[in-house]
Amino acid sequence: MEYKEVTLKTTKEFDEKSKRVVKSFLDEFNRHIYFEPMGSYEVKLFVNNLDFERFKSRALEVKANNGEEEVLSAIDDLVEAVNSIGSYGLKSGKRVYVDFNKERKVKNRKQKSEKRTSSIRNTEKSIEENILPFEYENAIVCADSLDVLRKLPNNCIDVMITSPPYNFGLEYENGADDKKWDDYFNQLFAILEETKRVLKYGGRMIINVQPLFSDYIPTHHIISKHLLDIGMLWKGEILWEKNNYNCKYTAWGSWKSPSSPYLKYTWEFIEVFCKGDLKHSGKTEDIDITAEEFKKWVVAKWSIAPERNMKEYGHPAMFPENLVSRCLKLFSFKNDIILDVFNGVGTTTSVARMLDRRYLGVDISTEYCNVAEKRLASSLF
Ligand SMILES: C[S@@+](CC[C@H](N)C(=O)[O-])C[C@H]1O[C@@H](n2cnc3c(N)ncnc32)[C@H](O)[C@@H]1O
């Protein structure tokens, strides 16, 4: 049987009485948890497939039957150590530590993963951060993103979240949305490369993409490949399920024939990349995601209705506020600086403000920027 090994430094001396009480307590769990004393203040714990709720409630009962300070403190330390184990699963709604025999088919998983990825991890060595110039903090800037980004210092943004123009031929207020694909990608890549430069070490890019399936251009793969090529680290992909099943089944030319069936998609993609490190640091008091939200949203298929008020805002391709708020709560801390390089009518900036993040939104259209400003004003209170 394999176990999760945890080193526990005890607050008080782990004396003989504590050892006896802890041993008889742990024996109740049939070798799913046991310990080896390492010294007067150190214990090695071995945990396998443990029902944590039962463990906690039994710990309280054991404490109630024992008065010695050392024993009480040892039990508290023990519960805290087991509680802090990150790798657990849920069975029948209970928190259950991974059964390493069942779940871990690969031995030394971490070392092997480190070996496989050593050439692509931690490529960015510069961790010094710069301050975003005052005039860009909590601002909507109407300009070409590339020009704006070039004015920003390195390493000053925590998270960039955006939805680039789709290149579907949509009627944006300003600018063509039907470029040749090469031109489209070259312009987009220039903006993404500058975005990488301005991101802090551990900063993130969250990009919502809907490929143009009828052109057979896998935009999400092409963008992801480019980001990998420039040294960004792939954190994951979320499927944004829009449930718009009213799309037609197929074009008549390919109806009910294997010759060229046309696949239909009711979802879009959200690609998440990191600069230099998969971890993004922040203060515990700046976390605003609840336990329930976290449990739901780490399952990377999100069912969210598309934005219904595009006419009212006068923009043909908005993403919904709910999508942005999930991304921000899951991938950023309060007070982080959030950038959107294609801010449109300001969904990102208004959600960032509502969630107590700082923001910078850039869009090339004056009309859209004006709407974004108005939305900010109405989200003030
Ligand atoms: C898909 S929309 C983003 C909509 C936005 N997510 C929202 O909810 O309002 C893409 C936006 O990119 C803007 N855009 C296109 N090229 C740009 C550029 N070079 N610099 C800045 N904005 C640009 C367009 O004006 C458009 O508003």
Q: Closest residue (by CA) to atom 1 of ligand 1? A: 165
pLDDT at residue 172 in the model: 61
pLDDT tens digit string along 101-133? Answer: 454 567 777 778 778 877 666 555 567 899 999
Protein residue with least CA distance to atom 3, ligand 1? 344
How many angstroms separate the CA atoms of 188 and 216, rounded?
A: 19
pLDDT band, residue 256 (cuts 50/70/90): confident
CA–CA dist 67, 18 (Å, integer): 11
CA–centroid distance, residue 99 to ligand 1 (Å): 48
Q: Per-residue pLDDT for 200 more than 90?
A: yes
Atom of ligand 1 nearest to the CA of 319: 8
- What CA dihedral angle connects 210, 213, 215 and 216, to 10 degrees? 110
Cα separation, 140 vs 374, whole angstroms: 11
Identify the residue whose C-alpha is closest to ligand 1 atom 10: 165
Cα–Cα distances (Å) from 285 to 243, 334, 336, in that order, read 36, 8, 13
Residue nearest to atom 17 of ligand 1 (CA): 364
| 212 vs 228 pLDDT, higher one | 228
- Among 99-108, 168-177, 306-315, where is mean pLDDT lowest? 99-108
For residue 173, the CA-to-ligand 1 centroid distance in Å is 10
- Strand-pairing partners, residue 238, are 270
Measured CA to CA, the distance from residue 359 to residue 346 in angstroms comes to 10
Q: Reply yes or no on whether the pLDDT at 66 is more than 70.
A: yes
CATH hierarchy code of domain 134-378:
3.40.50.150
Give the pLDDT of residue 52: 83
**pLDDT score at 381:** 47
Pocket of ligand 1, beta carbon within 6 A: 144-145, 163, 165, 172, 174-175, 315, 317-319, 342, 344-345, 347, 362-365, 368
Please check the confidence at residue 175 and state whether its pLDDT lies above 70. Answer: no
CA of 117 to the centre of ligand 1 (A): 34
CA of 342 to the centre of ligand 1 (A): 4
Statement: residue 377 has pLDDT above 50: yes
- Average the pLDDT over each of 27-36, 216-225, 288-297 and give the range with the smallest value: 27-36
DSSP lists the bridge partners of residue 161 as 206
Task: Say how many Å lie between the CA of residue 153 and the centre of ligand 1.
Answer: 22
In angstroms, the Cα distances linking 15 to 18, 20, 61 are: 5, 9, 20
Mean confidence (pLDDT) of the chain: 88
Closest atom, ligand 1, to C-alpha of 307: 8
Indicate where the chain has its CATH 3.40.50.150 domain(s): 134-378
Q: Which atom of ligand 1 is nearest to the CA of 346?
A: 9
Q: Is the pLDDT of residue 247 over 70?
A: no
pLDDT of residue 112: 81
- Ligand 1, atom 22, lies closest to the CA of 363
Reply yes or no on whether the pLDDT at 301 is more than 50: yes
* Choice from 144, 162, 166, 364 to test ligand 1 binding pocket (greatest atom count within 8 A of CB): 364
At 294, is the pLDDT very low, low, confident or very high (cuts 50, 70, 90)?
very high
- Asked whether residue 166 carries a pLDDT value surpassing 50, the answer given is yes
Mean pLDDT of 326-333: 98
Q: Where are the beta strands (DSSP E) in 163-276?
A: 199-209, 233-241, 267-274
Q: Which residue CA neighbors atom 26 of ligand 1 most closely?
A: 344
Higher pLDDT, 189 or 182: 189
**Per mean pLDDT, which range of 88-97, 164-173, 266-275, 369-378 is the poorest?**
88-97
Determine the atom of ligand 1 nearest the C-alpha atom of 166. 1
Burial of 200: CB neighbours in 10 Å, binned 0-12, 13-18, 19+: buried
Question: pTM for this structure?
Answer: 0.75
The answer to whether residue 232 scores a pLDDT higher than 90 is yes
212 and 219 in contact (C-beta within 8 Å)?
yes
Atom of ligand 1 nearest to the CA of 144: 20
CA of 191 relative to ligand 1 center, distance in Å: 12
d(CA 2, CA 46): 9
Among residues 355, 348, 353, the alpha carbon closest in space to that of 206 is found at 348
Compute the distance from residue 344 Cα to the ligand 1 centre, in Å. 5
Angle CA 174–179–180, to nearest 5: 170
User: For ligand 1, what atom is nearest to the CA of residue 177?
Assistant: 15
Distance (Å) from CA 164 to ligand 1 centroid: 6
- Structural contact between residues 271 and 224, judged by C-beta atoms closer than 8 angstroms: yes
Per-residue pLDDT, 300: 96
Residue whose tokens read 């515990």: 284
Give 92-107 as a DSSP string. TTEEEE--HHHH--ST
Nearest CA to ligand 1 atom 16: 364
In the chain, DSSP finds a helix count (H) and a strand count (E) of 13, 13
**First and final CA of the chain: distance in angstroms?**
57
Higher model confidence: residue 261 or residue 332? 332
Beta-carbon count within 10 A of 338 CB: 27
3-class DSSP assignment, residue 3: coil
DSSP structural state of residue 143: S
The tens digit of pLDDT for each residue in 14-25 reads 999 999 999 999
Give the Å distances, CA to CA, from 132 to 15, 135, 160, 282, 352.
54, 8, 14, 17, 16
Confidence band of 98 (pLDDT split at 50, 70, 90) = low
What is the crossing angle of helices 347-354 and 321-331, to 10°?
A: 50
CB 320 within 8 A of CB 305: yes
Ligand 1 atom nearest residue 341's Cα: 21
